[in-house]
Structure 1
Amino acid sequence: MAGARAALRAAVASGRVVRPARGVYALADADRVAIAAATHCATIACISAVERFGIAVLEPSRTPHLAVPRDRGRSESLVRSAQDVVLHREAWARSGPLEGVVVAPLDEALARMLLCCSAEAALVSIDDALHRGRTTTARIAAALPSTAPVWARVVLGRADGRSMSPLETLTRLALRAAGLVVEPGPLVPRVGYVDLIVAGRVVVELDGYEFHSGRIQFQDDRRRDRELVAQGYVVLRFTYTDVTHDMAGVVAAVKAACARLTSPR
């Protein structure tokens, strides 16, 4: 035992091991969220848990989100050490010592995102989880606390698993907020799935960094566009930068295209 303690002290002195809290030791390059969870004897929760499930997030969280039992005391040391994390008090959180790194169930993590994050951030993750078949809106609703405000369920009602990327979710939300009728992910004969159809006639395609960059894909996109035009659709393409930096311009362009469909020639 004495030899093990001496080896541990030596590892800390060398910088290979860190001691973030009393009784907590970790390798210097260990995951910071896991270290925070061990330090607080807490469960990884909310957006930090969602990231661990491989679900899309609008922006990675810079601060670990953790869950502790509702009845845990609020000691001065806990309040002081909690300044570097976001602590959620949850009815489902386990009390007492935790073995290893514990991650909240996906439904509970997504439910907490509805209460903690912006509507857009929560829906980006919920849409992705729905699209992957990892959960349902009913399960997320059941995971919401009974005291959750009505607006949280209203936001959840706007989720749609037919959206296949964060760009599609963000654009769908913005266009619907502008009063437009939007159908996400419809299948068009001889074309395949398109990102969005607005007002029944305007096809909105969103090109992310990872898609539509190869020559073959570029050529197929042009073929799809020609076929859509031949079927009477108007096609608008927007880039990642358009959506993330000029959503107002995206909405204005789509509204203008819709207006031209109904205006006399």
Structure 2
Amino acid sequence: MRTQSPNGRDRSPNGRDRTIGALADRQHGVVSHAQLRKAGLSGQAIGRAVRAGRLRPVFRGIYSVGHAIMHRKGWWMAALLACDEAAALSHTSAAALWGLRNAPTLPVEIIASGDRGRKHERIRTHRMRLEPSDSVVLDGLRVTTPARTIVDLAGGLSARSLRETVERAQDLRRFDPAKIGAALARAPSRLGGGGLADLLELLQPDADNARSHLERLFIALLRKASLPMPEVNAVIGGLKRDFVWPDPRLVVETDGYRYHASKQAQRRDRRRDRQLTALGWRPVRFTYEEVAFEPAEIARELITLLRR
């Protein structure tokens, strides 16, 4: 028999199961004790579900729903639920979610204002100020913005690793020096801030409007081969394109040496190329290895492409 609460919510066992299942689906397979109670489960019912294996404790008061193996986003969501509502994934965990760096799933790094979750060995909690503009929700997970993530990472990375992270952000179109500078200004004494500020200055557009080492290598290749200079970082279809020759309708994108190998990156690149084709442009891609180690071959290919 179906029973309803005064607000119309189905309180029958099947109704509660549907509610909990829908909630878990939205939260990467995990729910909190408070959410279960709100869905109509008593403390005793939750205990029975735990003993039966339908709920599996992850952190105190946080459960995975029927899953013996949790995926990465499930751990991230569980850690957020274990902390306060304003908590956000940060540091290495945020970098992994944004695709800026590879990082282990555990411990999950969180910025939080309260004490919840601080003493769990699988959660590394940072107590620091987090402005509303420094976090967003991505795939249901509150996370620091790419700019804030880079600022937080700066103090724990070597100069080389920090540059790789920033170049990765450039490659993914998640590098915004103005936003990074603003995040730094809000925390002027942050460890690593001076080195990051120096790196931002180094990566400012040069006289050619090039913004990365790879773009500068490609421009040097063009000059050595006496090829016509393109527009650099020009906008077509609402997106920045690395190198644009308007007359032959040619666009060259230079792909960072590590960062276009994943399936997600390849799908993004193909989508960008299809957009260009639909707009009447010819997209061509060269890898870091080609630009750095096969410049003569690229020059010969470009001569042919620019004649069309």
TM-score, structure 1 as length reference: 0.53
From the superposition, tell whether residues 123 and 112 of structure 1 become closer, same or farther in structure 2 (CA, over 3 Å).
Answer: farther
From the superposition, tell whether residues 40 and 151 of structure 1 become closer, same or farther in structure 2 (CA, over 3 Å).
Answer: same
Contact 1:68 1:93 in 2 (8 A): no
Structure 2 unaligned segments of length 5 or more: list them: 1-36, 133-139, 206-210, 223-231, 234-241, 255-259, 300-308
CA distance in 2, matches of 1:49, 1:113: 10
Aligned to 1:261: none
For residues 105-125 of structure 1, the C-alpha deviation after alignment (integer angstroms, 9 at most, x for no partner) is 554234324445532123322
* Matched residue count: 201
Aligned to 2:143: 103
Aligned to 2:213: 173
For residues 191-239 of structure 1, the C-alpha deviation after alignment (integer angstroms, 9 at most, x for no partner) is 332125xxxxxxxxx8974457xxx99x9xxx959xxxxxxxxx9944x
For residues 95-136 of structure 1, the C-alpha deviation after alignment (integer angstroms, 9 at most, x for no partner) is xxxxx96433554234324445532123322553557xxxx4
Aligned to 1:165: none
Aligned to 2:91: 46
Q: CA deviation at 1:35?
A: 0.9
CA distance in 1, matches of 2:130, 2:110: 12
For residues 37-64 of structure 1, the C-alpha deviation after alignment (integer angstroms, 9 at most, x for no partner) is 2334442223534665xx5435465343
Contact 1:47 1:113 in 2 (8 A): yes
| Aligned: 1:34 with 2:77 | yes
Alignment of 1:156-167 (within 5 A): 156-157=200-201
Q: CA deviation at 1:156?
A: 3.1
Q: Comparing both chains, which one has the higher relative contact order based on Cα–Cα distances under 8 Å and sequence gaps of 6 or more?
A: 1
Contact 1:46 1:112 in 2 (8 A): yes
Q: CA deviation at 1:250?
A: 5.1
Taking only the aligned residue pairs, the percentage that are identical comes to: 16
RMSD: 4.9
Contact 1:127 1:160 in 2 (8 A): no
Structure 1 unaligned segments of length 5 or more: list them: 95-99, 162-168, 197-205, 226-234, 259-265
From the superposition, tell whether residues 257 and 237 of structure 1 become closer, same or farther in structure 2 (CA, over 3 Å).
Answer: closer
Query: Secondary structure at the residue paired with 1:92?
Result: coil
Aligned to 1:21: 59
Match for residue 129 of structure 2 among 91, 100, 119: 91
TM-score, structure 2 as length reference: 0.47
Aligned to 2:294: 253
Query: Secondary structure at the residue paired with 1:146?
Result: coil
Aligned to 1:193: 251
